[in-house]
Structure 1
Amino acid sequence: MAWIVAFVSQKGGPGKSTLARALARESTSGGLKTKIGDLDTEQATSADWHRRRLAAGLQPAASVEVFSTAAQALAAADNYDLLVIDGPARASKGTTEIAKVADLVVQPTGASLDDLIPAVKVFHGLVKAGIPRSKLVFALSRIGTEAEENDARDYIQQAGYDTLDGCMFEKPAYRQAQNAGLSVTETRYKGLNTRADELIQALINKMGD
């Protein structure tokens, strides 16, 4: 059975698919047979990104498939080392079902209270549903400044949750890379790649824990 990392969010746009793609790319590069299960059947953004990657002949390319439920994704994961679940754009009852089967649940969030407050509520809801806090971790995404990063970390810590080391700053180069079928670890800029690598490596380390 594959190791399962699920990316969930309280609303669209916090970086869920961005991080799912980057983890899949780096895991595949490291020799793990990896599949992304795209559970956003309406938008299927990870599947679209995968097609752009294949069309550009970019390697390595993890397998990506669209599923309507986590159970369907699990059924297709037997021959993989890692299943990366890119959850629906908004948290729902299905989020709890995803969290139950995942080994680690990652929720990207921005630094504003408009992002943080509902994001923390999502994790509170999962804990209430019986999901261990040890399985839940935040990833900071679309951050403007280091001060914002620090404030967001403090808020999340006070709410009782862990945050991955590193963060994704709001940079056009990250969007441009993904438009071309690349991940955020493959931009034209070494410094931005290093930033993204730090966050993805922190996630991989968390998986090891």
Structure 2
Amino acid sequence: MALKIGFATQKGGPGKSTLARATAIGYAQNDWSVKIADFDLDQNTSTRWHQRRLQRDHQPAVAAEQFGSVAQALLLADNYDLMIFDGAPKASMATVDMAQACDLLVIPTGLALDDLEPAVELADKLHFKHGIPTERIVFALNHASDSDAELLEAREYLSYKPYFVLDSHLAQKVSYSRAMDVGLSVIEVSPKGLRSKAERLISSLIERATALSSK
């Protein structure tokens, strides 16, 4: 049975697809067969990225495909070791379907309250209204500035919530966006320091998924 990890957001722009791609590559680097289910039918962000990756023959290889519903993606999930659900840019009932189907749901967020508050609202809705267990919902901090104080404040804000926060964070860096422009993920960037920071975040995500799936 495939492991299923979803990425959801209440609003566009927190780096959902960035983390979905990096997670896919992180597992593929460990010889997992991985497919990304792209639910962004307007922008096709993950499938477009996948085409750029194929054109340049980057390894390891992952698969990607657009889907109109979670049910359609689930029909193919067990053909792979891991199915990544890259949700639509804004939460909907499909987000609920995705959360119910996934072993782990990742909600990326920036550090400002304009990002944190809707991210927590989404998590609360999924848990309190739709019964998604708190241990299956995790936050990932993205688009971080160089301010340690802002990072600490964001972590403190989330510490009062019943959800897990992944270790490390992603900074807002040109090297990350340029890597994705050529079909790479943030854990494949050339600058060693930036690559290490991204790897720590994805390693934390993988460790969390492994801990939940082993229960």
| TM-score normalised to structure 1 length | 0.98
The Cα offsets for residues 11-69 of structure 1, whole Å up to 9 and x where unpaired, read as 11101000000011111110111110001111110000000001011111201011011
1:104 is aligned to 2:97: no
Instruction: Give the C-alpha shift of residue 84 in structure 1.
Output: 0.6
1:132 is aligned to 2:133: yes
Matched residue SS, 1:142: coil
Matched residue SS, 2:207: helix
The Cα offsets for residues 71-91 of structure 1, whole Å up to 9 and x where unpaired, read as 111101121110010000011
Aligned position for 2:81: 81
Aligned position for 1:41: 41
Aligned position for 1:157: 159
Matched residue SS, 1:80: coil
After the TM superposition, which segments of 4 or more aligned residues of structure 1 sit over 3 Å from their partners?
A: none
Instruction: Give the C-alpha shift of residue 160 in structure 1.
Output: 2.3
The Cα offsets for residues 92-132 of structure 1, whole Å up to 9 and x where unpaired, read as 11111110010000000000000001110000100121111
The Cα offsets for residues 184-209 of structure 1, whole Å up to 9 and x where unpaired, read as 01112000000000000000000111
Structure 2 CA distance, aligned partners of 1:81 and 1:113?
36
Structure 2 CA distance, aligned partners of 1:199 and 1:150?
16
Aligned position for 1:11: 11
Q: Which residue type is aligned with residue 161 of structure 1?
A: Y
Aligned position for 1:203: 205
Matched residue SS, 1:155: helix
Aligned position for 2:185: 183
Instruction: Give the C-alpha shift of residue 146 in structure 1.
Output: 2.4
Aligned position for 2:71: 71
Structure 1 CA distance, aligned partners of 2:166 and 2:30?
20
Structure 2 CA distance, aligned partners of 1:127 and 1:35?
26
Aligned position for 2:149: 147
Stretch deviating more after TM superposition (144-153 or 127-136)? 144-153
Q: CA RMSD in A?
A: 0.8
Structure 1 CA distance, aligned partners of 2:19 and 2:30?
16
Residues 10-29 of structure 1 mapped to structure 2, 5 A cutoff = 10-29=10-29
Structure 1 CA distance, aligned partners of 2:22 and 2:122?
23
Unaligned runs of 5+ in 1: none
Structure 1 CA distance, aligned partners of 2:104 and 2:7?
9
Instruction: Give the C-alpha shift of residue 150 in structure 1.
Output: 1.3
Structure 2 CA distance, aligned partners of 1:146 and 1:84?
31
More strand by share: 1
Q: Which residue type is aligned with residue 209 of structure 2?
A: M
Unaligned runs of 5+ in 2: none
Instruction: Give the C-alpha shift of residue 138 in structure 1.
Output: 0.1
